[in-house]
Structure 1
């Protein structure tokens, strides 16, 4: 499967951002990508006043996917009752395929005060892969990715808005989540400050396949079946001891 990473700058308006996104998506189509991944909250960033424009943005992406045959995973900010939701929508030629709502909200961007967290993980079949969806701060919670992996997920897709100032942790988490679960990981970030950590594609050994640091599109080829072969050749999951982790950690005994 050919996956396009769109390292994109969010502009002054959703309309301007979408115009650039569609330009990069067209390039992804020309490069014969099957799936393109946009950043977290790509049309708006954390400007909540722009959230009412999200349905229009999604409708335009649906129109593009219907015409091009490309699948697009787009991170967006949506109005959710009296609060907001940080979501990733997977759109295909026939419309919406899946929606993931960010389950771990980051205090550094005030998300717990403004957003409603998701209550479930989302996995689906894509071009010979089992894909699991996550968003940005979720990377700091390895339980999410292990839960996916033990259910057969072999590709993690992670739209993000990760600050350049913490890029060292970003790269560490991306590579660790891939290597420890023997799965591909595609994590796509914003190009503009204060974000700007590189967009990365990582193989199931934790090795970097693609890095984008300026606004552009890059396409990487992922091999269906490779994670399964690796898991068979170097078995890790059968050595797990779930009985030890059931409560994660027990409190020390009071003496």
Structure 2
């Protein structure tokens, strides 16, 4: 199984421009087989808090466009605003050619930028099966919460995919914590960041997407700038490392792992 991360610029509020940029990049890999595409967090509109409801109206339109591009051997991990019963969620959609096979609503919202004032919190985890690989989802800030990774691992994840908008100024935190989450849960952790977040006030450099295997080796060349990054994953590596060093199973024998 291959994972491709699209580390490209995101422009605040520019749905049309962002759509053209990312869909064009995906189309260039449309014939790839047994592949997971990853896109940055809120790549369509950025964190345009005041217009989330309006952008949410385009979410399924964007998902349909993605489905029109990809083939039946592709899973796309894409993040958009979602409205439900007068609430707005920061939601990851797991999209195949024919269906949305899973959704994850962000549990921990980034309060320093006011994300918690505009989005509602999710309250569950999500793990989907794609061609025999169990894929879980978390978002950006949530790398600071190891409990979320342990819950996702206990639900059977071989891989945790993390769409993000993470500033280059804190790249050491990003790289250290994602690697730690991979090692302590003995699974793949893949983080797809945008290259730059363009806003009306400033341009924030991001980049440094990561792909750690269950041993903690980085499978991407983690760099700044615009890139399409590719790596191979093998779920047998998860099983092998968990058998050689049974720290995850030892923990599960001692600690009660439960959802709230």
- In structure 1, the partner of 2:208 is 198
Q: Find out whether 1:164 has 2:174 as its counterpart.
A: no
- In structure 2, the partner of 1:24 is 25
The partner residue of 1:73 within 73, 77, 81 is 77
Deviation string, structure 1 residues 127-161 (Cα, Å, up to 9, x no partner): 22111110111110001111122232110011111
Larger displacement relative to structure 2 (28-37 or 14-23):
28-37
Distance change (3 Å), C-alpha of 1:115 and 1:229: same
Work out the CA distance in 2 between the residues paired with 1:212 and 1:95: 33
Provide the TM-score with structure 1 as the length reference.
0.88
Distance change (3 Å), C-alpha of 1:112 and 1:143: same
Task: Indicate conservation of the 8 Å contact 1:39/1:161, yes or no.
Answer: yes
Distance change (3 Å), C-alpha of 1:244 and 1:82: closer
* 3-state SS of 1:29 partner: coil
* 3-state SS of 2:151 partner: helix
1:188 Cα deviation (Å)? Answer: 0.6
Give the number of the structure whose alpha-carbon radius of gyration is greater.
Answer: 1
The partner residue of 1:63 within 58, 62, 65 is 65
* 3-state SS of 1:208 partner: coil
1:213 Cα deviation (Å)? Answer: 2.2
* 3-state SS of 1:240 partner: helix
Distance change (3 Å), C-alpha of 1:33 and 1:195: farther
- In structure 2, the partner of 1:5 is 5
- In structure 2, the partner of 1:217 is 228
Distance change (3 Å), C-alpha of 1:55 and 1:92: farther
Work out the CA distance in 2 between the residues paired with 1:20 and 1:59: 16
1:100 Cα deviation (Å)? Answer: 0.6
Unpaired runs of 5+ residues, structure 1, are 247-255
Q: Find out whether 1:37 has 2:38 as its counterpart.
A: yes
Work out the CA distance in 2 between the residues paired with 1:215 and 1:61: 23
Unpaired runs of 5+ residues, structure 2, are 197-202
Q: What number of residue pairs does the alignment pair up?
A: 247
Deviation string, structure 1 residues 22-50 (Cα, Å, up to 9, x no partner): 11111233454621011111111111344
Deviation string, structure 1 residues 38-97 (Cα, Å, up to 9, x no partner): 111111111134432344353233233245213211111234555531111111111211
Deviation string, structure 1 residues 175-222 (Cα, Å, up to 9, x no partner): 000011110011111111425041111111111100242222122111
- In structure 1, the partner of 2:238 is 227
Work out the CA distance in 2 between the residues paired with 1:118 and 1:172: 25
1:243 Cα deviation (Å)? Answer: 5.0
Distance change (3 Å), C-alpha of 1:195 and 1:144: farther
Query: What root-mean-square deviation, in Å, do the aligned CA atoms of Structure 1 and Structure 2 show?
Result: 2.2
Work out the CA distance in 2 between the residues paired with 1:67 and 1:217: 17
- In structure 1, the partner of 2:217 is 207
